[in-house]
Chain A
């Protein structure tokens, strides 16, 4: 055995890789509940790829056959129902895990220096995952798949001049059709999975270069023993491998409970309107995306003409004000004036729909800038002041309620007092405000002193 490993090591850095990334990769010993979601995300990625391969064996990317082939998998393929439910429930669980994983970052400052690139790769994974989920959702060719794709692709038409051509180019047709199904299939099973796997790889490479953050948000590499090993570090293998087995088992129990006892999740994971084939002549009563997109869908629908005009007016005044009061140089002043002018011009020329798309887009783009928006001297929420704690709580509540409102009609009253659209506008402002005001409130927040070593037990 040793001889074999030596033989391999001469030709491939097997022992080196094993040690660097597992046996001698020192992770902080104080990981808590929130640190399970990284390994779980990897597990679900593998689940999606493996079940996806088996689904592809019986699925037919053809507008006339797609719906029937999915039913063939459900009715005739041995264990086909299990493979499909693992894939469809897995998609929803992927988002649950990724949202919790990102929330962990916000809790403990995992996006902060020196982990900015890990965060950016992660944000790219999130964007790729959304594209992957959106395209995969068309493949069963149910009526909700069809109209969901129709609505989302039509967002491109909001772009002036080139919008209509762009939407037609994406669809490959004037409406969502067989051509669209074929290209979405290609993207869903080849292009995006490759992108996702590559991004996950660099996400992990970047992580292992700087080392993991921890719930105290302090760098364990600053306190090393005489042997050069961080005092608060333990080898990832075997300590975190055995710990993650526990996390994986608990997750699998939740996953299995949904797959076997509630795979449609009352219409939330598999929608009722997707049990009839795509029909260009019959629109579902409410076209609603799956739950993981509804927060963003809410923000899109929140942009009524009045709301976007109000927001643009306020931001124009703010940016123009910045030009007068900034202590920065002439360049900054000129830039502010130009931005203000562009905003005013946009307000009078662009329609509300486009501003809705811009707002939804910026809600995702802002995530990328988080490492630089956060000016707090500490990383972890344990040592932050009331301002950040309050901001994060309000942000999370807004995000969840935006998701809830995204499943409801904008004109109904689902919460209290106001119509859904007004609540969605309020929560959109909170969502954007969380990021935009972050440089200010994290700077003036009263922080607590950070300990030298991690807290354990």
Chain B
């Protein structure tokens, strides 16, 4: 009986194991209570990303309110000409134009952190490398042949990707005879900073952490509120539970 209950409970736990073959992602620490980081991230996002990508589910003044930036400052530093403080954060470049330039319309990024995950964005932003064969001159190990050119190369500098080769041996049967095929596969090994940028690698990683932190906020502004409210709700319910148990005990005294 207890075993059945236990196994049922275990089944309700979220399954953590995730065995996808993808690029190895670096972990980034998300901390929504780090306001300074969120503000720095917002500045990077508005100045660099928002030129092409929208974040159209979020409004400027909501962002200002949540991040502790006054409407006055939002207007001064973060708004594009013609936008109002209550507007949604739309890309400067019209999507139709962007599609002409890049081949695809840059996706809206409001929910990107919940779609791809923060580790993915963090690793992606640090994985651009020079590739003369590609359309934009840039390629990415996390998102191969991505249409996006590397906007922040001035900060990070130019990376070169070093690949190693891995032998792939496959055994198949053809016409009743075993056939062994050996092919070589290029596997990404590491990056070399060919031309340094204006930031040291450490500073660049720190900036990307700020950016991803902001994108995590942007993907769910309610998270700031829900954790705070949740604690009060649970405290209330815990107190209520004690009273409910006492009430039940009082009534059930006379059941024998």
A and B associate:
yes
Find B241's partner among A74, A249, A397, A400 (CB 8 Å cutoff). A249
Given A76-B59, A404-B15; A252-B226 close (CB under 8 Å): no
Interface residues on A, range: 35 or more
Report B105 CB to chain A, min CB distance, Å: 12
A71/B111 in contact, CB under 8 A? yes
Q: Is B255 an interface residue (CB 8 A)?
A: yes
Question: Is A412 close to B, CB under 8 A?
Answer: yes
Smallest distance from the beta carbon of B251 to chain A beta carbons, Å? 5
CA distance A68 to B111 in the complex (A): 11
Residues from chain B with a CB closer than 8 A to the CB of A250 are: 241
Q: Does B36 contact A (CB under 8 A)?
A: no
B70-108 interface mask toward A, CB cutoff 8 Å, 1 = contact, 0 = none? 000000000000000000000000000000000000010
A248 smallest CB distance to B (angstroms): 8
In the complex, A393 has a CB within 8 A of chain B:
yes
Contacts of A396 in B (CB 8 A): 4, 7-8
For the complex, give the distance between the alpha carbons of A238 and B254 in Å. 12
Cβ-defined contact, B237 with A239, below 8 A: no
Is B169 at the interface (CB under 8 A from chain A)? no
Known: A249-B241, A253-B237, A268-B14. A400 touches B248 (CB 8 A): no
Nearest chain A CB to B144 CB, angstrom units: 15
B187 at the interface (CB under 8 A from A): no
Cβ 8 A contact of A75, one of B58, B244, B245:
B58
A74 → B minimal CB distance (Å): 7
Q: How far is the CB of A394 from chain B (nearest CB, A)?
A: 11
A212 in the interface (beta carbon within 8 A): no
Query: What is the bound-complex CA distance between A414 and B247, given in angstroms?
Result: 48
Bound together, the chains give a CA A29 to CA B255 distance in angstroms of 8
Q: Is the CB of B222 within 8 A of A74?
A: yes
Instruction: Report which residue of B14, B20, B219, B229 has the largest number of chain A beta carbons within 10 angstroms of its beta carbon.
Output: B14
Nearest residue, chain B, Cβ from A277? B108
Instruction: Check A412–B230 contact: CB distance below 8 A.
Output: no
> Known interface pairs A74-B57, A259-B230. Does A242 touch B19 (Cβ–Cβ under 8 Å)?
no
How many Å lie between the Cα of A76 and that of B233 in the bound state? 22
Closest 6 CB pairs of A and B: A260-B230, A81-B222, A275-B115, A71-B57, A266-B14, A400-B11
Other A-B pairs, 17, CB within 8 Å; known A68-B56, A275-B219, A414-B19: A29-B255, A71-B57, A74-B220, A75-B57, A81-B222, A239-B251, A239-B255, A246-B241, A249-B240, A249-B241, A256-B234, A260-B233, A272-B114, A272-B115, A404-B11, A456-B255, A456-B256
| Chain B contacts to A: CB under 8 angstroms | 1, 3-4, 7-8, 10-12, 14-17, 19-20, 56-59, 62, 107, 110-111, 114-117, 219-222, 225-227, 229-231, 233-234, 237-238, 240-241, 244-245, 247-248, 251-252, 255-256
Which A residues have a C-beta under 8 Å from some C-beta of B? Answer: 29, 68, 71-72, 74-76, 81-82, 85, 96, 100, 103, 234, 238-239, 242-243, 245-246, 249-250, 252-253, 256-257, 259-268, 272-273, 275-276, 285, 381, 392-393, 396-397, 400, 403-404, 407, 412, 414, 456
